[in-house]
Copies of this chain bind each other. A is one copy, B any other.
């Protein structure tokens, strides 16, 4: 089964180079929104706040969500520079969620990608405010002219991000996760909370690509389904990594889900069955995008990458 979704080594190298280049472009664009030296005439944000936000946002992440948005837009014919800005907005929301999730009152994590978390480095009050600042900045970025010339597209992007990041999406999922912490969860419960907590933003990444490209209803439905599959695959891969990888590989505490009694799909299905489900999802994603031919290559490679990633 693994063979059917494995990628040839050269194609894989091309993909990884592209992902790396995209992550660098995102990091660079985020820097312009969070400048170390603010413009002298700027009614500016406090330097300490910017420093805490940079710590949380410029952390060498893979930038999978913005990559998905940019590549979905590209597959659907939109290669405008505004997609990079919209992608940055999404990454700001992801980074804010990590900062708040790591807080002592939440997951109480000291380490993130091998570095002290924001509240460890800057204190708890500053971490709360850095998260609030990044979430707010996301909508500031998304509403600007340079994201898309059509204000209706910008308003739609804002609405979609707010819905998927909010109480019926990511924030709601985090609440469900906390509430189910010390009790047995059913498969349905786990699927629902993961679809909200991590799935919603990944699906939005793809759907927003269709918004930016002003895609047809049909194309939009396809990439939104692709985004849903990506969300499921991402979570299965993450749960697998939590039981198979070491802390050193992850840059965070491994096995945390098990020790904190968070039942995952792996603990319900077992490792092998989880792997099989994961690869079935990738096959579905490939079939779904097959009609787009060569244009879909990068998105399909992204799906494989998510399934096969080692950290």
Q: Is A168 an interface residue (CB 8 A)?
A: yes
A106 partner residues in chain B, CB cutoff 8 A: 125, 128
**Residues B166 and A137 in contact, CB atoms below 8 Å apart:** yes
Q: Is A43 an interface residue (CB 8 A)?
A: yes
Q: Is A129 an interface residue (CB 8 A)?
A: yes
Contacts of A85-113 to chain B: CB distance below 8 A: 96, 100, 103, 105-106
A45 partner residues in chain B, CB cutoff 8 A: 166-168, 172, 175
A123 partner residues in chain B, CB cutoff 8 A: 105
A51 shortest CB reach to chain B, Å: 11
Chain A residues touching B, range? 35 or more
**Residues B49 and A171 in contact, CB atoms below 8 Å apart:** yes
Contacts of A145-173 to chain B: CB distance below 8 A: 150-152, 154-156, 158-159, 161-163, 165-168, 171-172
Q: What 0/1 pattern do residues 27 to 60 of A give for CB contact below 8 A with B?
A: 0000000000000001111101110010000000
Nearest B residue (CB) for A100: B128
What is the oligomeric copy number?
2
Give the dominant DSSP class at A's interface: helix
Q: Among the listed B103, B136, B176, which residue makes an inter-chain contact with A128, where contact means beta carbons less than 8 Å apart? A: B103
Q: Among the listed B49, B142, B156, B174, which residue makes an inter-chain contact with A175, where contact means beta carbons less than 8 Å apart? A: B49
**Residues B158 and A139 in contact, CB atoms below 8 Å apart:** yes
A155 partner residues in chain B, CB cutoff 8 A: 143, 151, 154-155, 158
**Residues A105 and B132 in contact, CB atoms below 8 Å apart:** no
A44 to B192, CA, bound (A): 11
Nearest B residue (CB) for A135: B135
Q: Is A144 an interface residue (CB 8 A)?
A: yes
A143 partner residues in chain B, CB cutoff 8 A: 155-156, 158-159, 162
Nearest B residue (CB) for A159: B143
Q: A140-B166, A143-B158 are in contact. Are A132 and B171 (CB under 8 A)?
A: yes
A282 to B192, CA, bound (A): 54
* Interface residues of A, Cβ cutoff 8 Å to B: 42-46, 48-50, 53, 96, 100, 103, 105-106, 123-126, 128-129, 131-133, 135-137, 139-140, 142-144, 150-152, 154-156, 158-159, 161-163, 165-168, 171-172, 174-176, 178-179
**Those 10 A-B pairs whose CB atoms lie nearest each other, nearest first:** A140-B162, A45-B167, A105-B124, A143-B159, A136-B166, A151-B152, A143-B158, A139-B162, A133-B167, A151-B155
